[in-house]
Amino acid sequence: MAEFKQKLKNLLDAKTSVKVPLIGSQDFWDISEKKSDSLLIKPVVNNEKFVEKCDAELVSNIDQVYFNSSDFDFTKFELEKLPSILDKKLIANDINKLKVQHEIVEKQLLQLILENQAACDDELDKIGMLQNNLKSSLENCEHAKNRLKLAKRQITTAGLGLLGNCRKKSLILDLLSSLNSIKMLLQTEKKLEELVSQANYAKGIALLLECTQGASAFKQFNCIAALSIKLQDALIMTEEQLDIVLSNMCFNFDNEKYSAVQEAYRRLGKTRIAIDQLHMHYTSAIHSASFDTINLFVNTDKVENNKNSFAFLCQCVPDEQLIPCLIALSKIFWNILQSYKKAADWHREFKDISTDSEDDIEEYVNQEYISKKFEIGPTRLWGDMVTKISNLVFNSNMTKFKFDDFLQVLSILNKHIKIGEEFCNSKSEQLQNDTKKSCINYFHTYHKNCLDELTIFFENESWTPCPVKREFNLFQLQEFRTIKNHIQKSNSSRLTHSRNSSMDSSSISTCEYFHFTSDKSPFDNDLNTTYCEDILDTEMDGNSVCSDDTNNSYEDTDNYNITADNYERPPLLTNTTLTVMRHCGKYLKICNILKSISEDVVTCLCQLFEYYLYSVHLLFTSDMLPQICIGVNSVKLQSVITRICNTLIQCNPENQDPIIREPVALHVLSLSDANNLYSVSERIVAVESLVFLGEQYKLLHSYLNSLLISDTSSYSLQQFYNQTVAVAVDLRKPVYGRVMCKSIDYNQVLGMMTKVNWEVKDIMCEHSKYVDFFLEEIRVFFKTLKTSTSHIYLNEQVLYSIWEAIAVLVSSVFIEGFSLAKKCSNAGRALMQLDFTQFMSQINSICPINPLPHKELVEVYIKAYYLPETSLETWTRDHQEYTHKQLLAVINCVCQNNKRLRQKLTNLLEESQQR
């Protein structure tokens, strides 16, 4: 049995032994090709997936012992598995099974070999290279061995000693160099401190970086390891020092220090980080500076802790401390802006001189980043400043400010708007809107107070002339000092108002504030400055302004003409007039600073003149004017007075609150006292001061027109000058005419005219007595006028106005006296002509006006008595300037024998009167 098993084992070894060829040999490739060919030729009977599944099951059925070790004796293992009683059929099945498993394993092994063929080739190449390297090394070793043998035979012991000493020297030199390097590293800290103290940050950073790099070569030494940590800390401290210096640039920019700092950051490779930090420092500087400044002025009683908001601190600033606080804050902000602009200019110049920046991509990117930052940064910084300024100014109650204080605040805000325009091309619209709103509220309140103040002035005005110099005008007042050049330039050029160049809130001055030196800011002169004005004539006695007879306009009772004296006289004006002109100057100061409210200011400025005109008219025309002198009234003047009353003074407060109340003359005005000629001096001073004020307003016409934007406002201003200002001179006749009517006894003249016999049959050769009486009354009036006005100067216009009022009275008295004649003969009509002609011949010798105004009215009226009855109807229709009574007198005299015509003309007059 044992022999049989041995034979069976040999048989299996012979049949199942597989000869695996060496990888890479010719047999390997031959077998691989045969196997691959056989695999390609063999038809696929079953599905590929099914075959793979079956192969996997067969491989899984192989005993695990076949895979445990390579020296496994599988023949012995299979024979030991045979039973004691052999079964031929069972043995055949086992043999077939083993064959199938062997084929599957062989196939999979071949497939793995093929898959790893490329890796195998790479490994073979490496093996070849390794063999070549080993061969070269072997050759070098043999060559060195031969050279050593040669040196052993040729070199002596002394030579070897020299070589050894040379080697030691080289080692010692290397050691000395290392020690020097270590020494230099240990001395870095002291040298770094010196460089930093000298503001040589770039060299300090370069030294630190060099030492840090050098320390890495000696990190095996303990001292150097500690030094590396210390150098790293020193680098961090130096960066902090750089940051501190960078923050100081926000207030005091130093070109050399800033250049050193930027160079140091460039050495560190943190150029962009430095720019970001710079802008952060500027933002922080604005925040901290504003808080520090406000805390210096706040009311400590209202501040409970140190964590209050900026807006709350602004509310705690007392009103009297607002302007000093605003100026201090503005100066600090100006300092920051100026420093920022210098930093921006430094970077702009650095970019221009960097010629190789285009070749260095990193440097180019850095410069572009910096440029972008300085494009955005100014707007953000200015926005923060505007917010702080608005919180400070508009959290206070400026309506209680004095005008000069408010004007100063307005000037500071206007300068900020201009600086914002120049600094970052910002319109500061929110600041402009808040300023405009606040200014309008304040100005209307102030204007109402000014009108109230004028009311008090009118009620207490003594109407005596203020002794000013002869050449005085409004430009000499300190209120016009700052805008004098603008007004005079506007008057001299007479430029038409341009809508495109109109000065509104967005028009900013082109003045460049950054031309100022570093030690001076635009806010240094924002203190109340009072200019010295020289307007009073100290050489003139206030009680005898023109006391000499030669200073008046007439010299004696027989000569009432204007003297040919070229000596200039001072204008007649009162303290109230000066007050109005000062208010005008203050109003225009607001326009000059904030031009967006110019229309409101100009309207209020016109109201000042209107109220002056209305008040003078009210106070000096309050006494009744006789019906006979009604001709001195001006229809245009009366319409203007009515309009002012309806728009400016509301008489019915139940419907609407009055803008301003009417003045009541608290000062005693003896308008009915004949001893002072019915206050003729006060009347003249009042009216002439109004006329003088109108002349001053005319000097402002062109400038006021340049301030207006809309066509409607320009048209309203033109109407104001054409109607209100122009009508001021018309106030002379009604005011002076009241004095004439009261001073000249025209009733006595009329009484004497009624006693004249107009039915004389013969033509008279002498004039009536009333003519001489009337002339004497006029002479006496001028004597009294001279005495009453001895302390004032009556100029040509005043005398002309007085004579015009007398002319109205003369024409009215003659016409009225002639109309009293119930019957009149032809000789009586000639007597009328004779009386009037005699009167005119004598009046012309003392009257400066030739011919006397309204003379033709009397002449036409006298000629009417000569008209035939047929022409009387036409004459009556064409001469409605006469009263009904006067026309009726002519009709009765002419038609005294024609009752039918007289009744017809009388009916015609009644119908005309009803119409």
The whole-angstrom distance between residue 358's C-alpha and the CA centroid of its chain comes to 39
Residue 22 has pLDDT above 50, yes or no: no
Residue 36: the pLDDT is: 44
Residue 212 has pLDDT above 90, yes or no: no
**672 three-class SS:** coil
Residue 525: the pLDDT is: 67
Cβ 359 vs Cβ 441: under 8 Å: no
> Which comes out higher in pLDDT, residue 222 or 751?
751
Whole-number Cα distances in Å, 773 to 69, 128, 776, 777, 835: 170, 159, 5, 6, 12
746-754 and 769-788 helices cross at what angle (nearest 10)? 180
Residue 92: the pLDDT is: 86
Residue 717: the pLDDT is: 94
Residue 874: the pLDDT is: 82
Residue 534: the pLDDT is: 63
Cβ 665 vs Cβ 619: under 8 Å: yes
Average pLDDT over residues 238-267: 82
- CA–CA dist 239, 209 (Å, integer): 12
Q: What is the pLDDT of residues 861-915, one digit of tens each?
A: 888 888 887 788 788 877 777 777 777 777 777 776 667 777 777 777 777 666 5
**pTM, rounded to two decimals:** 0.70
**746 three-class SS:** helix
- Ranked by mean pLDDT, the top range of 201-215, 227-241, 472-486 is 472-486
Average pLDDT over residues 9-37: 48
Compute the C-alpha angle 319/324/325, nearest 5°.
75
Cβ 374 vs Cβ 347: under 8 Å: yes
Confidence of residue 207 (pLDDT cuts 50, 70, 90): low
Residue 40: the pLDDT is: 41
Average pLDDT over residues 516-524: 68
Residue 858: the pLDDT is: 87
Q: Tell me the chain's radius of gyration from C-alpha atoms.
A: 60
- CA–CA dist 818, 750 (Å, integer): 9
Lowest mean pLDDT among 372-386, 464-478, 552-566, 768-782: 552-566
Residue 492 has pLDDT above 60, yes or no: yes
- CA–CA dist 278, 618 (Å, integer): 69
3-state DSSP of 680-735: HHHHHHHHHHHHHHHHHHHHCHHHHHHHCCCHHHHHHHHHHHHHHHHHHHHHHHHH
Residue 533: the pLDDT is: 64
Confidence of residue 135 (pLDDT cuts 50, 70, 90): very high
Average pLDDT over residues 767-789: 90
Residue 504: the pLDDT is: 39
Compute the C-alpha angle 424/427/433, nearest 5°.
145
Lowest mean pLDDT among 362-376, 464-478, 496-510, 559-573: 496-510
Phi, psi of 468 (to 5 degrees): -100, 170
**5 three-class SS:** helix
Confidence of residue 189 (pLDDT cuts 50, 70, 90): low
What sign does the dihedral 712-718-724-727 (CA atoms) show? negative
- CA–CA dist 775, 810 (Å, integer): 10
Q: What letter does residue 548 receive in the DSSP assignment?
A: S
Confidence of residue 131 (pLDDT cuts 50, 70, 90): very high
- CA–CA dist 143, 149 (Å, integer): 10
The whole-angstrom distance between residue 452's C-alpha and the CA centroid of its chain comes to 33
- CA–CA dist 778, 772 (Å, integer): 10
Residue 510: the pLDDT is: 38
Whole-number Cα distances in Å, 639 to 615, 617, 727, 730: 15, 12, 10, 12
Cβ 574 vs Cβ 616: under 8 Å: no
Lowest mean pLDDT among 189-193, 218-222, 264-268, 681-685: 218-222
Q: Which helix (H) or strand (E) holds 176?
A: helix 157-186
What sign does the dihedral 841-844-849-850 (CA atoms) show? positive
Residue 737: the pLDDT is: 86
> Which comes out higher in pLDDT, residue 328 or 669?
328
Residue 666 has pLDDT above 90, yes or no: no
DSSP class per residue in 306-347 = S---HHHHHHTS-GGGHHHHHHHHHHHHHHHHHHHHHHHHHH
Residue 655 has pLDDT above 60, yes or no: no
- Beta-bridged to residue 40, according to DSSP, are none
Residue 90 has pLDDT above 70, yes or no: yes
Residue 23: the pLDDT is: 44
Residue 79: the pLDDT is: 79
- Beta-bridged to residue 536, according to DSSP, are 468
Whole-number Cα distances in Å, 220 to 209, 217, 637: 19, 8, 110
Q: What is the pLDDT of residues 274-307, one digit of tens each?
A: 899 999 999 999 999 999 999 888 877 666 666 7
3-state DSSP of 762-777: CCCCCCCHHHHHHHHH
Structural tokens at position 532: 């010295």
DSSP class per residue in 418-486 = HHHHHHH----HHHHHHHHHHHHHHHHHHHHHHHHHHHHHHHH-------B-TT--GGGSGGGTTTHHH
**491 three-class SS:** helix
Using a CB cutoff of 8 Å and minimum separation of 24, what contacts does 408-411 make?
A: 408/323, 408/526, 408/527, 408/528, 409/322, 409/323, 409/326, 410/435, 410/439, 410/590, 410/593, 410/594, 411/526, 411/593
> In the chain, what is the straight-line distance between the N-terminal and C-terminal CA atoms, in Å?
173
Residue type present at position 854: H
Helix and strand totals (H; E) in the chain: 33, 0
Residue 217 has pLDDT above 70, yes or no: no
Q: What percent of the chain has pLDDT over 70?
A: 75
- CA–CA dist 22, 50 (Å, integer): 33
Q: Is 134 exposed, middle or buried (0-12, 13-18, 19+ CB in 10 A)?
A: exposed
DSSP class per residue in 22-76 = PTTSHHHHHHHHHHHHHHHHS---S-HHHHHHHHHHHHHTS-GGGGT-TT--HHH
Residue 605 has pLDDT above 60, yes or no: yes
Residue 447's closest CA among 584, 649, 561?
A: 584
Average pLDDT over residues 469-492: 80
Residue type present at position 860: V
Residue 506: the pLDDT is: 35
Average pLDDT over residues 117-141: 91
DSSP class per residue in 117-129 = HHHHHHHHHHHHH
Residue 102: the pLDDT is: 84
Cβ 594 vs Cβ 435: under 8 Å: yes
Q: What percent of the chain has pLDDT over 90?
A: 19
Average pLDDT over residues 762-776: 88
Residue showing tokens 């201090």: 328
Residue 41: the pLDDT is: 38
- CA–CA dist 56, 42 (Å, integer): 20
Structural tokens at position 491: 């008057």
- CA–CA dist 837, 107 (Å, integer): 162
Q: What is the pLDDT of residues 144-184, one digit of tens each?
A: 898 888 877 776 666 667 777 888 888 888 777 766 666 66
Residue 716 has pLDDT above 80, yes or no: yes
Q: Is 899 exposed, middle or buried (0-12, 13-18, 19+ CB in 10 A)?
A: exposed
Q: What is the pLDDT of residues 222-239, one digit of tens each?
A: 555 555 566 666 666 777
Whole-number Cα distances in Å, 503 to 52, 596, 745: 97, 7, 59
